[in-house]
Structure 1
């Protein structure tokens, strides 16, 4: 635990040091580093790009029940994207190679960190230009793809997490002359493989599978400048699943309508965001075929108000509030399912950390963000965290007190992050840390580890080409 961090930090630092100072100056002046696209002579119709990221992360005082007290690992992610546009027809694909090293059976490492040599995108697209109105554009893609919709709280491509959500299906997009955006999709989520611990620890290469046993569909609308600086998102998502021979499920049939009204941060201005979603349908209490079905009634809310000062470093201070329902006594299913959303922007680092998430949580917080210049940015944030329901598992910790005798206070989280472009648009370093100060619940719940306050840190280096 001591020698390894020093070694990894030295390797990452030496990698960044290999960029000569003179080259850095030249790149900064051009503000457009040499890319793979340029290396190929910028051919007509072809778009190609890639990235490599290496990250060392360490967790002390594991909060998940049944795992080792300390955990550390190195994760590597390599991507290569290419798209050829012939005019109305586009053919595209992306390979993502996500691997983890120095982990072991006592680690929480999962398919969220490991998905080796996977084709996460592979599609054929048709562009219909202004077929649906002057100044508009319409496109239809069929195949494998990733999606970022709205705030990404329910549908998003993972960035901090080493492996990402991806889908196979059909997706149509419309952009109006007034910048209105509408998308509709029917997709089969990719099941990341291998799913067994031995295969994950081995970084085994297996083709991810999709199946009609799990289907995800819906629509999303964005209306900018609805009233002044206020923008509107509206969405409706459906998720249906059934058991297959290899994968028993809770037979979820979930329907999630939601709305978001927000304004973008701007120097000297106050901004805001309000998002809420309600979830209904049916789900089993477990994955066995005989488990009883229950009605689902769940929700989440995010509210935020901030102000960005028009001074040096353009600091922005925001007050945030998040709440997502949990299961309660009485026979209903009340735990909110965040579908295919991302957690990092609201709840802190995920990966081998990530105790907080969009289920069974009641959490106010305050955030300070700064941007000293185009190369530096950072933030610090504090959150106080309660359980929405005292008898359900607390957020993503896996810690639960079925009798509700451990109270509702989960604890305080403090986190921070700093990023710096070593070479603008080419090479960036990202480092951060988080501390969860256990509350009564994490100390007293029957299956709590009792290891103490979880503390986490990471250091990564990303090259984009």
Structure 2
């Protein structure tokens, strides 16, 4: 595994970095007509992990994954027809390793929709989109298309966006989230194509309202999303019937200025206590909060330094379900990337963080973070590791996480290399809880080459 990692890393380091013109694009190859646009990308990533932090899985793991996306759009006099084909595949996973429909989803038409705008007068505009689509709404903590994960989230339904001249904006959705198929291990390993499932057994609705340009360049956003999930033949679910209410206050980063973000989400409803059909249906009382404050330094490097805090409730004894559900949200911007690491998510966690990030300048961008992490509830499983101590005697300190990511355009707008790494120095809980795989510290490295055409 280490030999393969060195080879994969050398691809990023030794690839030609000299300035050169990007080759012709997919759009150039078709030569018109002007009302049709075509683009694509392909991403090859090798991941290696030692000191598995998650329960049940192998102590070491590796994966080679590739994702190819072809996007097409036809502009028919104001009505746009969009299509996007995703092909996600993975190899090298051994029995007991990580491979699922999160990594493998072949020949899937993730987007196939029509969209258009309607002028409402007074500078207001209404945009409508109908069909299969990807979504990234608000902070993307509840509804998103995860870009780091090899297979993304798709949705089928209706989206509407209202924009006004005075800074008021609203987005509303009613969609059926896609259930990626196939989801049985033999079919996944065989990379078999199968149309993702969409049905009224899994529904998502709601929206966001925001106002930009309040006092001192503040943006206020409030939102609501509802989820209804039911069993269907061959699949037992958690029978989620959840209501999530959010509020967010933002001041965007600007050179030489202090910025911040505050978001709180309260969740209520009902959920099945486990994946068993005989499990009780419990009332839900859960919550999440994120806070960060940062400063962007003046200058061409676009450097920002920030302090962060995230807390997501965990389950406690007492007949109510208290574990926060991030629905279809992404995790990378706040906590850690997914991939075969996928250990730190928005559930039963309390984490303080320091982040140093560099925006895109001189073809470089990236970030470095440090986070000590605790369990919000000692008796619930820590975050998304599945590691749990029902007695609470293993304590509540999970460990120290250091994460780094660097991206560099080897050929601008065409070829980009990326290096991602995580070191998790395990605390008492992740070393002594009853179902830990290994007490060794976790080391995760991923090297990526992306081609855009």
Fold shared per TM-score above 0.5: yes
Structure 1 CA distance, aligned partners of 2:432 and 2:237? 31
How far is the alpha carbon of 1:444 from its aligned partner? 1.1
1:60-92 deviations in Å (ceiling 9; x for gaps): 011222221111111100001111121242211
1:226-267 deviations in Å (ceiling 9; x for gaps): 222111221100000111112111111000010111111111
Q: Is 1:37 equivalent to 2:37 in the alignment? A: no
Q: Is 1:392 equivalent to 2:380 in the alignment? A: yes
1:101-130 deviations in Å (ceiling 9; x for gaps): 1112221222211111111011122432x1
Gaps of 5+ in 1: 28-32
Q: Is 1:197 equivalent to 2:224 in the alignment? A: no
Query: Partner of 2:280 in structure 1?
Result: 292
Change (3 A) 1:378 1:88: closer
TM-score, length basis structure 2: 0.96
Query: Partner of 2:38 in structure 1?
Result: 48
Q: Contact (CA 8 Å) 2:430, 2:439: kept in 1 or not?
A: no
Structure 2 CA distance, aligned partners of 1:243 and 1:26? 53
Structure 2 CA distance, aligned partners of 1:388 and 1:280? 18
Structure 2 CA distance, aligned partners of 1:243 and 1:366? 42
| SS of equivalent residue, structure 1 residue 228 | helix
Query: Partner of 1:76 in structure 2?
Result: 66
How far is the alpha carbon of 1:26 from its aligned partner? 4.0
Match of 2:97 among 107, 110, 115: 107
Q: Contact (CA 8 Å) 2:167, 2:213: kept in 1 or not?
A: no
Worse overlay, 433-442 or 197-206? 197-206
Structure 2 CA distance, aligned partners of 1:358 and 1:168? 25
How far is the alpha carbon of 1:11 from its aligned partner? 5.6
TM-score, length basis structure 1: 0.93
Q: Contact (CA 8 Å) 1:133, 1:176: kept in 2 or not?
A: no
Change (3 A) 1:355 1:183: same
Q: Is 1:241 equivalent to 2:229 in the alignment? A: yes
Alignment of 1:57-96 (within 5 A): 57-96=47-86
RMSD over aligned CA atoms reads: 1.7
How far is the alpha carbon of 1:178 from its aligned partner? 3.1
Gaps of 5+ in 2: none
Worse overlay, 323-332 or 133-142? 133-142
How far is the alpha carbon of 1:174 from its aligned partner? 1.7
Query: Partner of 2:4 in structure 1?
Result: 4
Q: Contact (CA 8 Å) 1:387, 1:394: kept in 2 or not?
A: yes
Structure 2 CA distance, aligned partners of 1:260 and 1:81? 32
Change (3 A) 1:312 1:463: same
Structure 2 CA distance, aligned partners of 1:231 and 1:48? 35
Match of 1:326 among 300, 314, 319: 314
Structure 1 CA distance, aligned partners of 2:218 and 2:11? 46
How far is the alpha carbon of 1:179 from its aligned partner? 4.3
Structure 1 CA distance, aligned partners of 2:123 and 2:95? 56
Structure 1 CA distance, aligned partners of 2:431 and 2:87? 38
| SS of equivalent residue, structure 1 residue 97 | strand
Alignment of 1:283-432 (within 5 A): 283-311=271-299, 313-371=301-359, 373-432=361-420
Query: Partner of 1:185 in structure 2?
Result: 173
Query: Partner of 2:146 in structure 1?
Result: 158
How far is the alpha carbon of 1:40 from its aligned partner? 2.5
Structure 2 CA distance, aligned partners of 1:232 and 1:216? 23
How far is the alpha carbon of 1:217 from its aligned partner? 0.6
How far is the alpha carbon of 1:311 from its aligned partner? 3.8
Query: Partner of 2:109 in structure 1?
Result: 119
Query: Partner of 2:264 in structure 1?
Result: 276
How far is the alpha carbon of 1:371 from its aligned partner? 4.2
Structure 1 CA distance, aligned partners of 2:360 and 2:161? 37
How far is the alpha carbon of 1:150 from its aligned partner? 1.2
Q: Is 1:140 equivalent to 2:128 in the alignment? A: yes
Worse overlay, 5-14 or 190-199? 5-14
Write out the 4+ residue segments of structure 1 that deviate beyond 3 Å after TM superposition.
Answer: 6-14, 24-27
Structure 1 CA distance, aligned partners of 2:299 and 2:60? 42
Q: Contact (CA 8 Å) 1:183, 1:221: kept in 2 or not?
A: yes
How far is the alpha carbon of 1:133 from its aligned partner? 2.5
| SS of equivalent residue, structure 1 residue 436 | strand
Structure 2 CA distance, aligned partners of 1:57 and 1:262? 34
Query: Partner of 1:30 in structure 2?
Result: none
Q: Contact (CA 8 Å) 1:69, 1:451: kept in 2 or not?
A: no
How far is the alpha carbon of 1:326 from its aligned partner? 0.4
How far is the alpha carbon of 1:377 from its aligned partner? 1.5
| SS of equivalent residue, structure 1 residue 356 | coil
Change (3 A) 1:38 1:263: farther
Q: Contact (CA 8 Å) 1:438, 1:452: kept in 2 or not?
A: yes
Q: Contact (CA 8 Å) 1:104, 1:201: kept in 2 or not?
A: no
